[in-house]
Chains A and B, each alone.
Chain A
Amino acid sequence: NAGVTQTPKFQVLKTGQSMTLQCAQDMNHNSMYWYRQDPGMGLRLIYYSASEGTTDKGEVPNGYNVSRLNKREFSLRLESAAPSQTSVYFCASTIIGANEQFFGPGTRLTVL
């Protein structure tokens, strides 16, 4: 089992460009999450999907959109990137609800 995979691992964008971060899990988990991690800020929840077909805003959703493509895949889209979105992005999944989450390796994004 690969667990949680994320692509790409690194990305550099110019202000205003768009991109989609991909996440997939092979653990048959129902719930999936997108976090960003910034120095001194800890992990902050951007969006989550409690189950296939549902998505909800987290703590810092502005500037992002998500798609739960199927049970395995959950993508995060930046429509018009801003320097404030420079961060490390982690995808996570769990069987359901507030159980232990399993994280992907992260995407390091720089917006110039």
Chain B
Amino acid sequence: EDQVTQSPEALRLQEGESSSLNCSYTVSGLRGLFWYRQDPGKGPEFLFTLYSAGEEKEKERLKATLTKKESFLHITAPKPEDSATYLCAAGSSNTGKLIFGQGTTLQVKP
């Protein structure tokens, strides 16, 4: 069964304290691994797509990496404006759908 699991559920960091969010996946026919940011009361906003193990993508303080079983979202020297829920999703070429994880809610305190 296709499944995506994110950990931790919630993460509190001090401003400048780097950390990583984990996304483990089991998907038949992985089409891509997607990261989204969701602010309260808004729709998910697309961040990155990763297609193959070893691939990395960066955007400001965020870097996403991919292995054959996991993806990590590394946050370097976070700022309060990075506070949000981060969702990952795995795309299945077999079903043509995305399978979403439950999300990690990040709070960065000044």
Residue numbers of A with Cβ under 8 A of B are 4, 31, 40-43, 45, 48, 50, 58, 90, 92, 97-106
Chain A residues within 8 Å of B95, by CB:
98
Q: Which of A41, A97, A104: most chain B Cβ within 10 A?
A: A97
Bin the interface of chain B by size.
20 to 34
Instruction: Supply 12 further A-B pairs (C-beta < 8 A) apart from A42-B103, A100-B34, A104-B43.
Output: A42-B87, A42-B100, A43-B44, A43-B100, A45-B97, A48-B97, A58-B97, A97-B93, A98-B93, A98-B96, A100-B49, A106-B43
Q: Which of B34, B43, B44, B87: most chain A Cβ within 10 A?
A: B43
Tell me whether B32 and A98 are in contact (CB under 8 A): yes
Question: What are 17 sample pairs from A and B whose C-beta atoms fall under 8 A apart?
Answer: A42-B100, A42-B103, A43-B100, A90-B44, A92-B43, A97-B91, A97-B96, A98-B91, A98-B92, A99-B31, A99-B49, A100-B46, A100-B49, A102-B46, A103-B46, A106-B42, A106-B43
Pairs A-B, 3 closest by C-beta atoms: A98-B91, A103-B43, A98-B31
Residue numbers of B with Cβ under 8 A of A are 31-32, 34, 36, 41-46, 49, 87, 89, 91-93, 95-98, 100-103
> Which residue of B has the minimal Cβ distance to A3?
B43
**Given A43-B87, A48-B97, also A101-B42 (CB < 8 A):** no
Secondary structure type dominating chain B contacts? strand
Secondary structure type dominating chain A contacts? loop
> Which residue of the partner chain, among B93, B98, B103, contacts A101 with CB atoms under 8 Å?
B98
Chain A residues within 8 Å of B46, by CB:
100-103
Chain B residues within 8 Å of A43, by CB:
44, 87, 100
> Which residue of A has the minimal Cβ distance to B6?
A42
A22→B32 CA distance, assembly (Å)? 29
Shortest C-beta distance, A45 to chain B (Å), equals 6
> Which residue of A has the minimal Cβ distance to B46?
A100
